[in-house]
Every structure is written in structure tokens, then in C-alpha cells.
Structure 1
Amino acid sequence: MWSNLPFDLLAKIFSFLSPDSLARARSACRRWHTCAKSYLLTSSWPQHQQPWFLALPTRNRGQCCYAHNPVTGNWHMLSLDFFPVPVRPVASIGSLILLRSTNSTILQLAICNPFTREFRQLPALNITRTNPAVGIVLLESGQHGNSLCFMIYVAGGMSDAPRGGATYESTLEMYDSRDGTWQIVGPMPTEFAVRVTVWTPNDSVYTDGVLYWMTSARAYSVMALEIGSNRWRELSVPLSDRLEFAALVRRNGRLTLVGGMLDGGDGCIWELEEGEKWVLIENVPVELGMRLTGGKSWGSTKCVGSDGAIWLYREIGSGMLVWRQAEGKGKWEWVWVEGCCFVRGKMVQNLIIKGVLLQPNLANSSCLNC
């Protein structure tokens, strides 16, 4: 029966498979391989699937990463031995990961698909920069099938002065995946160039035409860049002097702040509403918060989010706390995810990680074939 199914019906069945199951289906026979490949090239899969959590060691030890399948709850190990240079993850871009090279202090970016083992270094920036802020704008209207359109903004950083030494670079540079080039799109106030260089990590959130970065020092604040007007401004953070950790994510299209109080206090989630007013929308359940932190401080907690899920995590072997949209229920729920300690019976070393959320895709990406 299965060998006689029409391609369109077989493709419909494939649409319900998770990426790992689809990969196995592709290897079953020539007909299934051809159908799955054709389906991947012509569909918008897997946008309806829950994003996977990828844990990448911050020091690229062993050249591998670990992926959590939210459907089955299983952890998988993915080899990264196809990377030509040492790298550190920056963020996800749809089904791709943005990386930066670690063999130089000068910013050099690359993109990869860890599931298809494709890797491509992006062109060098127009200005050599050390430690700038990096922001990503995903052009959702341009994402169809294997076509992914995005822009990368690089702000500030240190650059070499004409007469020696180094100076803060007060310019904004942008990479457009549609033409594969960098261009300087305007100046930025010197005070913001200093702030994003010294105090801003790479994590960014884009929503409603604005890029946001959280400063990394107490008291926390938010740096905001309006893309269209190239206007910079600073936003306050609720309880900024009492937060031990703070991170920005996007939830249901809105800018969302996740923070943990000093001295083992509450974990809180705020949402930015009109008028740049922060509204408390959720508290981390006390028992789960204690389980995540071990009853200690929030200091080493990290956070990554997508429109449908927010992950709080620490090391690869520690449990992870997820606040996610419950399928078919129209509400959000808290879920505990066990850390990755074993993969196929082999013990996993407990490493410091950087987590990213992405939609696995087995189709070839045009962004990686330029």
C-alpha cells in the first residue's frame, strides 16, 4: 500500500513528522527519498512545529552540540566537525545559526545549518570591529520553502584609530542576505556606541521595527534602535537594581523581559505595552525556580525564547525550565525538561552552554549556497 500512495498524499503524511523522523523516512527507499526531498523544497515546513532547543558548548569543546526534540523529549548529539574554524554561537536565524569566529578578536560572522552540515562564512565587515553589538531582523514575509531573508545589524565596537590605538566606532553596519553585502547605514551617538560595546551582549530582540539589547550590568537597562529612522533610545527596566539576571525575548510578537531577583528571590516575566510600560504577566513557580537554581542565586541563569516558548537554563546537564504555549489549549504552561546527561547510553560531559531555539530544516538553504 505505502509504495502505491500518490506523492501529494505521501507528502501530507511527511508534514506531520518531526525532523529526525523525516530523515529516517528519507532513507527508507528511493521513492520516499525523492518525495521527501521534493516536499522540503516546495513547502513552508516546519513552521508549524515547535522549535528545538540546541545547546552549543561556549568553548566548542569536542566539536558537537546537543539538540532537544520537544515532541519526543529525546536529546540528540550533532557533530560540528564540519566547522573550518573555532566558533561561538550568537543566535538563531530561522533554521540557521549565526556564529562568530573565536580565533580572532575582530568580529567575523558565519551561518550554518547543523542538521544538513552546511557552513558559510559571511563577507568581512566594512570596518574592523571588536566586541560590537549584533542584532538580527528576520524578514518573515520572505521566508518561503528554502528561501530565508534576513538582515544583520552590527553596532559600535572598538576599531583601530588612524594614528594608532583604538577608539569606539560610532557607526551602524548592516548585512542583507538578499544581496550578500555589508553597508554602513548611518552614524550612532557616541554614548550609545560606548554602552553597546562595553555592556551589551550579542542577544537581541526585534519587534515592531525596533531592535532591542539588554545591558549586562546592574542596574539593567535596554538599548533600543528604531530601524527605519536610525534613532537610538534607552528604556528603563522594572526593579533594575534588584535583578540578579535579566534577559530579553520575544513572546507573541511583544518584547518580553525575564528576570530573577537578588538573594534567591522570585523569577518574574514582564511584557512591554504601549507607552513603553512594563506589565508583570507571570511569576516563575517557586518550586520550579528552586529546582532550577538549586535553591541558590539566579546569577548563572540564561534565557532564550521564541514567540511560543521561553527557556530558562544553566549547564547542559542541569534541568531546564520552559514556559510554553500549550497546544490546543490557548494558554501557557510551565514544563520541566531534564538536562542532557546521556545520549544513546553515552555520558555527556556537563558543559557551560549557549542555547538557541530553531526550526530544524533538512532542505538546502539558498543563504548557504551564495
Structure 2
Amino acid sequence: MWSCTPFDVLSKIFSYLSPDSLASASSTCKQWHTCFKSYPLYTTANKPQHPPWFLAMSTRRMSSSCYAHNMARNRWHSLPLDFLTDPVRAIAPIGSLILCRPSASSTPLQLGLCNPFTKQFKLLPPLTTMRINPAIGVVFGINNKKGTLEDQNQFRIYVAGGMGEGPKGGASYEPTLEVYESEKNKWESVGWMPVEFAVRLTVWTPNESVYSQGTLYWITSARAYSVMCLEIESKQWKEVKVPMADKLEFASLVRRRERIVLVGGTSEGEVCLWELFVRETNWVLIERVPSELGQRFLGCKGSWCTTKCVGSDEAMYLYRELGTGMLVWRAVLEGDGKWEWLWVDGCCSSIRGVPSFPIKGLLIYPSIC
């Protein structure tokens, strides 16, 4: 029966498999291998059915591999990065790809895309303006006219601020915005921005951005925290205050079900999650980390200062280093909208000989196609 299964049906079944299971399936027989190689498994109408993986990439130059955690199997995998000629720093996921930049933040920005599962890397065209350490935002799966999430094969990359060359040759803040459109494969300058926002995006804003319903959000990296927003259609910038801004030891933004969620921890050992309704300025408390899991995560450190968070519609991960455990808040399967907290052991507990080091976490839908 399986040898006579049409490729479109077989491809639909394959789309439910995680990459490790898919690799095993593709080597089962000639029929399955041919389907895997020649038929599109992931298209707009046929999205991957498995949950995203947590990918850990070093924030330093010391690691020759990255590490991926498959939540469905609770298993870590080591992925060599020997195909990269120079060290890179991860910025954001774009489907099964990773947007990255050179590790040195003092060099002019040059972006690239890589897939650590297939060992592929591609440099994007140079920006229209030379910039050092700008803020970067990603919009994935967009429709050019409506700005909605419709075409899963298109994406845009927004670059704002950064240090550039001043009119007299000295360094100055670059108060402009430019965008890369995947369908055109080129950068275009799309407007100006207030100098104050350019300064704050360059000095105080990490590259993590969140997109929701026509707006890009960045959170500043220094207390008191605040959120910088860009309304894409109007090119308008604004600032949104955050709750307990001067008391949070860490703060991160993630997107959950088309809404923006702020995750922050206080010196009292508590982590809270607030939700922001789009185009509003009021935050609503929606969840707290259970105290026993919070204490397990903190251990003897007693501070949330080095904590980071990454999230998707299916799950949120609080993490620190590769070797330490992670707190995960995820949707319960068939749970009628319910979410649950659980603990995930660090990579070093599964893969021997791996040292613990600072990481940047990404949630991606891995592909070996």
C-alpha cells in the first residue's frame, strides 16, 4: 500500500514529521526518498505540522556547533557550523532559516541567511547605507498590500538607526530606515526617524524584535525599560511604557496569538507575563511563573539579570546558558486554550563533553529540504 501512495498524500504525511524523523523516513525506500527530494513538503497550503524547535547559538566565538532541542521528543541535537567561513551571531528566525550577522558588532552590518540543518549559507545584498549596530526587525510571511500574514514564503527585514558616517566625515547616528524585500532581493530606503529614536535603538536596543498586526516592537536593554514601536504603513514611531519598568531585572518581548507579551522578572524572585493589546498602551497581567519552578531556575544565583526569553504561538522559553535548564510555558494539546509550565534540562545533561556558555535562543521550524 505504501509503495503506491501518491506523492501529494505522502508529502502531507511527511509534513507532520520532525526533521530527525523525516530523515529516517526518507531513507526507508526509493519511493519515499524520491518523494522527499522532488515534492514540496512545506508550502503556503502545506505548512509544517510539528512544533518549532529551540535552537541555541553561542553569543561568543567559542563554539563550532549550535544545539537544537526537539520538544516533541525532549531530545537535544548537535549541529556543526563548520560550513561557515566566519563566526556569525544569530538575530532572528525566518521559517526554517536563521537571519545572522558577523559576530563583531563594531563592523558595518552585513546580513546573511543560514540553515544549520542543511549547512547552507547565503549573504544578502549590501545595505543602501553603511551602519554599525542598528536595530533589526523581521516580518515573515507578509502580503505587500495588506501587511497581513498570508504568503509564508515572503519576508521583509527592517533596519533602523545605527552608527554611520556624518556629513563631515565623523561618526554619527543614522536617523533613517531601510527595508529588504525577499521577492525583490534588494534594499530600499523608506524614510526618516527621530534622532532620539535612532540613538536609543543603537545604544539601548538588542536586535530582538517582535511583529504583530502591522507594528514592529523593540524593548530597550537598560532600566527603566520601555518599548519602541514602528507602525510600518505610516512609518510612525512611538514609545510605550512597560509595567514595573524600574524594578525589572530582565525584560523580553514575545508574540503570542497575534498579541505582544512582556516577560519580566523582579528582584523578589517573581516573573510576570503581561499582554498588550495592539494599538493600545495598557498592559494586562496574564500569568506568573510558579514559585517552585522559579526557584529551581534561579538556583543559588538569586537574580534574573542574565535571563532571556523567546516565544511563539505554541510556547515560550526562559533560558540562560546552554548547560542550565529552561522554563517552558506551552499550549496543552487538546487543552481548549490551556497552557502549562514545565522544566527542560539543559543540553549538557544530554550531550556529554559540551561546555556551558551564553546563548541566544531561537524558535525555528527546521527543514532538511
Instruction: Report the TM-score range of the alignment, normalised by the length of the smaller protein.
Output: over 0.9
Matched with 1:53 is 54
How far does residue 2 in structure 1 lie from its aligned partner after superposition?
A: 4.0
RMSD of aligned alpha carbons: 1.6
CA change 1:70–1:40 in 2 (3 A) is farther
CA change 1:29–1:244 in 2 (3 A) is same
Query: Equivalents in 1 of 2:362, 2:261: separation in Å?
Result: 17
Give the stretch that moved more between structures: 118-127 or 25-34. Answer: 25-34
Aligned-partner SS, 1:47: coil
How far does residue 94 in structure 1 lie from its aligned partner after superposition?
A: 1.3
Say whether the 8 Å CA contact 1:46–1:359 is kept in structure 2. no
Query: Equivalents in 1 of 2:176, 2:98: separation in Å?
Result: 25
- Deviation string 1:164-223 (CA, Å, 9 cap, x unpaired) is 220010000110011110011000011111111111000000001000000000000000
Q: Which amino acid aligns with 1:127?
A: T
Say whether the 8 Å CA contact 1:151–1:175 is kept in structure 2. yes
- Deviation string 1:99-122 (CA, Å, 9 cap, x unpaired) is 011256211110111111111011
Q: What is the TM-score when the length of structure 2 is the normalising length?
A: 0.93
Say whether the 8 Å CA contact 2:11–2:41 is kept in structure 1. no
CA change 1:238–1:77 in 2 (3 A) is same
- Deviation string 1:52-111 (CA, Å, 9 cap, x unpaired) is 000001124232100001111110001111112210001111111000112562111101
Q: What is the TM-score when the length of structure 1 is the normalising length?
A: 0.92
Say whether the 8 Å CA contact 2:17–2:49 is kept in structure 1. no
Query: Equivalents in 2 of 1:55, 1:89: separation in Å?
Result: 9
Give the stretch that moved more between structures: 156-165 or 216-225. Answer: 156-165
Q: Which amino acid aligns with 1:211?
A: L
Query: Equivalents in 2 of 1:204, 1:213: separation in Å?
Result: 5
Aligned-partner SS, 1:354: strand
CA change 1:134–1:43 in 2 (3 A) is closer
Say whether the 8 Å CA contact 2:16–2:49 is kept in structure 1. no
Matched with 2:150 is 141
Matched with 1:271 is 275
Give the stretch that moved more between structures: 346-355 or 223-232. Answer: 346-355
Say whether the 8 Å CA contact 1:245–1:298 is kept in structure 2. yes
Q: How many pairs align?
A: 357
Q: 1:150-169 to 2 correspondence within 5 Å?
A: 150-169=155-174
Q: Which runs of 5+ in 2 are unaligned?
A: 143-148
Q: Which amino acid aligns with 1:135?
A: G
Q: 1:141-220 to 2 correspondence within 5 Å?
A: 141-143=150-152, 148-220=153-225
Matched with 2:146 is none
CA change 1:39–1:298 in 2 (3 A) is same
Matched with 1:30 is 30
Picking from 347, 350, 356, the partner of 2:353 is 347
Query: Equivalents in 1 of 2:47, 2:343: separation in Å?
Result: 24
How far does residue 265 in structure 1 lie from its aligned partner after superposition?
A: 2.6
Query: Equivalents in 1 of 2:215, 2:335: separation in Å?
Result: 31
Identical pairs, percent: 57
Query: Equivalents in 2 of 1:230, 1:25: separation in Å?
Result: 47
Q: 1:56-135 to 2 correspondence within 5 Å?
A: 56-103=57-104, 105-135=107-137
Say whether the 8 Å CA contact 1:135–1:211 is kept in structure 2. yes
Matched with 1:314 is 320
Say whether the 8 Å CA contact 2:156–2:182 is kept in structure 1. yes
Say whether the 8 Å CA contact 1:46–1:360 is kept in structure 2. no
Give the stretch that moved more between structures: 6-15 or 78-87. Answer: 6-15
Q: Which runs of 5+ in 1 are unaligned?
A: 364-370
Matched with 1:298 is 304
How far does residue 16 in structure 1 lie from its aligned partner after superposition?
A: 2.9
Give the stretch that moved more between structures: 150-159 or 23-32. Answer: 23-32
Query: Equivalents in 2 of 1:349, 1:219: separation in Å?
Result: 33
Query: Equivalents in 1 of 2:179, 2:86: separation in Å?
Result: 23
How far does residue 335 in structure 1 lie from its aligned partner after superposition?
A: 1.3
Query: Equivalents in 1 of 2:332, 2:341: separation in Å?
Result: 9
Give the stretch that moved more between structures: 221-230 or 20-29. Answer: 20-29
How far does residue 342 in structure 1 lie from its aligned partner after superposition?
A: 4.8
Q: Which amino acid aligns with 2:31?
A: R
Query: Equivalents in 2 of 1:20, 1:12: separation in Å?
Result: 17
Say whether the 8 Å CA contact 1:110–1:121 is kept in structure 2. yes
Query: Equivalents in 2 of 1:55, 1:68: separation in Å?
Result: 8
Query: Equivalents in 1 of 2:354, 2:249: separation in Å?
Result: 29
Matched with 1:16 is 16
- Deviation string 1:151-173 (CA, Å, 9 cap, x unpaired) is 00000011012322200100001
CA change 1:28–1:240 in 2 (3 A) is same
Query: Equivalents in 2 of 1:110, 1:209: separation in Å?
Result: 24
Q: Which amino acid aligns with 2:197?
A: F
Query: Equivalents in 2 of 1:67, 1:279: separation in Å?
Result: 33
- Deviation string 1:240-294 (CA, Å, 9 cap, x unpaired) is 01101000000111011000002x4310000002632100000011111111111
How far does residue 8 in structure 1 lie from its aligned partner after superposition?
A: 4.3
